[in-house]
Chains A and B, each alone.
Chain A
Amino acid sequence: MRVSVQEQAFDAGAELTAFSAGHSDIGAVVTFTGIVRDLADDPMDAMEIEHYPGMTEKAIIAMVEDAKARFALGDVLVIHRHGRLQPGDVIMMVATAARHRKDAFEAATFLMDYLKSRAPFWKREISATGAAWVAATEEDETALSRW
């Protein structure tokens, strides 16, 4: 398992290559990469991501442990950035490795659902018209109920 909460940019392709290498017992790797999406009709200058140092890492590690208990996983990688990002920047990635694809896919979805609303990050969108905190949605909360 590797969990990194960091300000600096990372190369998702290089991370995937490193994560996938050296396992002969792994048949499937699934990755999700999150990218800063611009606002439809109000171009964004930046997205700022605040987090809770200490709790963030602990909460993500607990989610990964939970995923490992639910699915047959070989390895897990979670990288999540904080600080000031631009539209198009990579915010985060999750990679799961398993013997079989079903576990890898489901674990990646499970981790994304939990990262979305149980890891202490808060996004703020800054545009020419001002700055606004991104609100959590009902959808994010209902996504958790299926697990």
Chain B
Amino acid sequence: MDVLYFAWVRERIGLPREVIETTAATVADLVAELRAREERYAVAFEDLSALRVALDQELADFDAPLAGVREVAFFPPMTGG
């Protein structure tokens, strides 16, 4: 699936998007996999309360299932307006 990063999440991980092969059942499982990869992911995903997630461009929760999802995006709380 495509995994996208925005704002300081993108900066900490060092790339805007990547394709990840995963069997993670939920967003939280995917986060655990990413955290275990490398230090930069561990740093980016250190505090989940400071992060938001969207599944196929809809805001979702970290316990949401990933079955059928094509695009996951991680980003900090939004600051529009």
Contacts and interface: CB of A to CB of B under 8 A. Distances in A.
Contacts of A135: 77, 79
A136 B81 contact: no
A39 interface: no
Contacts of B79: 116-117, 121-123, 133-136, 140
Interface string B43-81: 000000000001001110000000000000101111111
B80 A121 contact: yes
Contact of B6 (A50, A80, A112, A116): A50
Interface of A: 34, 50, 52, 54-55, 58-59, 80, 91-92, 112, 115-124, 133-136, 140
Contact of B57 (A54, A91, A92, A123): A54
Nearest to A111: B81
The DSSP consensus for interface residues of chain A is mixed
Nearest to B52: A120
B34 interface: no
21 contacts: A34-B81, A50-B7, A52-B4, A52-B6, A52-B54, A52-B57, A59-B59, A115-B81, A116-B80, A116-B81, A117-B77, A117-B78, A118-B80, A121-B78, A121-B79, A122-B78, A122-B79, A124-B7, A134-B79, A135-B77, A136-B76
